[in-house]
């Protein structure tokens, strides 16, 4: 069995494979350019393009060969651009004003958003922005809850070209779209204020109350898994500490949902690794105590026993008594 993994050249994930010599795929290599031309040529030979080719520009008929070369030239080695531009031509069923077509991937994204009815554009931006900051694919129910948009299925259908849909969940179809929204210089008026949408997700779960009063047992699994991540992204560090240490309710809710301490340990690791300079010494000690205790507990799974974690009594499956901290 052979695994083929692809990544951007600057992805931090590559550090995990430092002992393996990567094969670099250059987007401007002749092989890649030829692949794109062949891809475009094959798509343009499909039956539904025959009527489109009856259109003439400045009196000269457009052939599949001419158009293939033009699109391949504009693509500059970007397969995704070629695919989306062809999809756009199919949707319009016309080659009118071909020279005015977007010449890069950002242009395609901008053109799509700019052509949306102004009265509805905000709904599309809300949905896409939520998906941009989301930590995993979301269901329609999630998107409806987070955006308060009732007819969510209509907007998702219109956005289908830019979404990856799998098993009833939705996510941004390509990292380039996420990069576009998060870079205001590229997306301008359509940019996503990531902090705003992280806070929107947090507020949905907090429900205008304090973390000490929130009923975590009513959270769905997305909230239990990723609330701390969203608090981190929104730089609400003190609330991360409050959530992890003020009571055992957050820890217990996660354990009950996942039958494991691993998700809570992930939260502790994030706080310990990212916030050591921003926490008071006693706060950091408390997080470390819980981390060490839960790691010891996680190592044993033979029998159920009650133990102490950070001064609180909890039920876990352990092999040996954990240290009382």
Find the mean pLDDT for residues 8-15.
79
Residue 314 has pLDDT above 80, yes or no: no
pLDDT for res 205: 96
pLDDT for res 60: 59
Confidence of residue 323 (pLDDT cuts 50, 70, 90): very low
CATH topology of domain 196-318: 1.25.40
pLDDT for res 232: 94
pLDDT for res 277: 80
Confidence of residue 325 (pLDDT cuts 50, 70, 90): very low
CA–CA distances in Å: residue 121 to residues 75, 117, 160, 189, 307: 28, 6, 15, 11, 54
* pLDDT digit string, tens, across residues 253-263: 999 999 988 99
* pLDDT digit string, tens, across residues 49-78: 766 765 544 455 667 777 888 888 999 989
Q: What is the pTM of this model?
A: 0.81
* pLDDT digit string, tens, across residues 260-312: 889 999 999 888 888 878 778 888 888 888 888 788 766 654 344 444 444 44
pLDDT for res 302: 36
For the chain, percent of residues with pLDDT exceeding 90:
46
Mean pLDDT of the chain, nearest integer: 84
Domain ranges, ordered by start, for the chain: 26-102, 112-192, 196-318
Burial of 25 (0-12, 13-18, 19+ CB in 10 A): exposed
Find the mean pLDDT for residues 23-46.
88
The CATH architecture of the domain made up of 112-192 is Orthogonal Bundle (1.10)
Contact 211, 121 (CB under 8 A): no
């Amino acid at each position: 069995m052979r695994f083929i993994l692809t990544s951007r050249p600057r992805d931090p994930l590559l550090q995990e494979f430092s002992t393996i010599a990567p094969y670099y795929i250059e987007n401007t290599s002749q092989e890649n350019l030829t692949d794109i031309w062949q891809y475009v040529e094959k798509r343009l030979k499909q039956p539904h393009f025959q009527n489109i080719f009856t259109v003439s520009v400045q009196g000269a008929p457009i052939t599949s060969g001419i158009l293939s070369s033009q699109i391949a030239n504009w693509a500059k080695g970007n397969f995704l651009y070629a695919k989306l531009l062809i999809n756009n031509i199919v949707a319009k069923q016309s080659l009118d004003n071909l020279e005015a077509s977007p010449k890069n991937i950002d242009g395609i994204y901008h053109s799509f958003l700019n052509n949306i009815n102004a009265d509805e554009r905000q709904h599309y931006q809300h949905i896409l922005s939520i998906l941009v900051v989301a930590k995993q694919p979301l269901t329609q129910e999630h998107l409806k809850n987070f955006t308060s948009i009732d007819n969510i299925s209509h907007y998702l259908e219109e956005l289908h070209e830019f979404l990856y849909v799998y098993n009833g969940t939705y996510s941004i179809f390509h990292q380039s779209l996420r990069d576009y929204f998060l870079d205001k210089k590229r997306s301008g008026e359509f940019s996503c204020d990531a902090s705003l949408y992280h806070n929107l997700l947090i507020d949905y779960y907090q429900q205008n109350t304090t973390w000490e009063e929130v009923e975590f047992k009513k959270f769905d699994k997305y909230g239990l898994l990723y609330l701390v991540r969203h608090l981190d992204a929104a730089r609400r560090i003190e609330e991360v500490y409050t959530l992890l240490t003020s009571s055992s309710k957050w820890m217990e809710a996660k354990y009950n949902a996942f039958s494991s301490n691993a998700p809570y340990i992930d939260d502790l690791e994030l706080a310990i690794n990212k916030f050591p300079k921003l926490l008071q010494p006693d706060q950091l000690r408390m997080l470390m105590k819980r981390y060490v205790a839960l790691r010891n507990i996680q190592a044993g799974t033979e029998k159920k026993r009650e133990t102490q974690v950070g001064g609180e009594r909890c039920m876990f499956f352990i092999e040996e008594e954990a240290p009382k901290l």
